[in-house]
């Protein structure tokens, strides 16, 4: 059996190798500030499920979910593959009732440019994310 090779394209975005980060999502066209890049449905899970995911590879791919962040969600489409940046070119908006995450440009993005979001939720939030906290402990 043969498997598709990167890049893997869907709509106006594609997944390819991101230097030092593994896979990432890249622009397949120019996006303008304010433009929606992708709207991803999510699979939501309970706090109990989330505690089990913390011991799997999915730990690195879920979003905290719900008003009190006691649940988690895996974004479908390319939603769980966007890489983190403290200087992102996109943001994500969560819609809990609709069970979707929307990825929106916060600055113009050129074709071929990696699309990044701040995993803290707010683009300007400079708090260390979990993998940077882990590096700091070592």
Tell me the pLDDT tens digit for each residue of 81-134. 999 999 999 999 999 999 999 999 999 999 999 999 998 778 777 776 656 555
Asked whether the beta carbons of 68 and 44 are under 8 A apart, the reply is no
Quickly count: other Cβ atoms within 10 Å of residue 37's Cβ: 25
Write down all domains in the chain, each with its CATH number in brackets.
11-119 (2.170.270.10)
How far apart (Å, rounded) are the C-alpha atoms in residues 26 and 71? 28
Contact 44, 73 (CB under 8 A): yes
For β-strands 90-95 and 83-84, DSSP reports them as unpaired
Taking the model in full, what pTM does it have?
A: 0.84
Q: How confident is the model at residue 60 (pLDDT cuts 50, 70, 90)?
A: confident
What is the pLDDT confidence band of residue 51, given thresholds at 50, 70 and 90? confident
CA distance 31 to 8: 19
Q: Reply yes or no on whether the pLDDT at 3 is more than 60.
A: no
């Amino acid at each position: 059996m043969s498997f598709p090779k990167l890049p893997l394209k869907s709509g106006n975005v594609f997944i390819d190798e991101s230097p030092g980060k593994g896979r990432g999502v890249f622009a397949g066209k120019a996006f303008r500030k304010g433009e929606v890049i992708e709207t991803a449905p999510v699979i939501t899970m309970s706090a109990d499920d989330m505690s089990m995911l913390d011991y799997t590879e999915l730990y690195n791919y879920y979003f905290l979910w719900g008003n009190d962040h006691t649940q988690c969600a895996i974004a479908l489409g390319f939603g769980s593959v966007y890489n983190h940046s403290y200087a992102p070119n996109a943001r994500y908006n969560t819609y809990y009732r609709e069970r979707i995450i929307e990825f929106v440009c916060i600055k113009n993005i050129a074709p071929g440019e990696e699309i990044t979001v701040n995993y803290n939720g707010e683009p300007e939030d400079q708090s260390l994310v979990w993998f940077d906290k882990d590096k700091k402990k070592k």
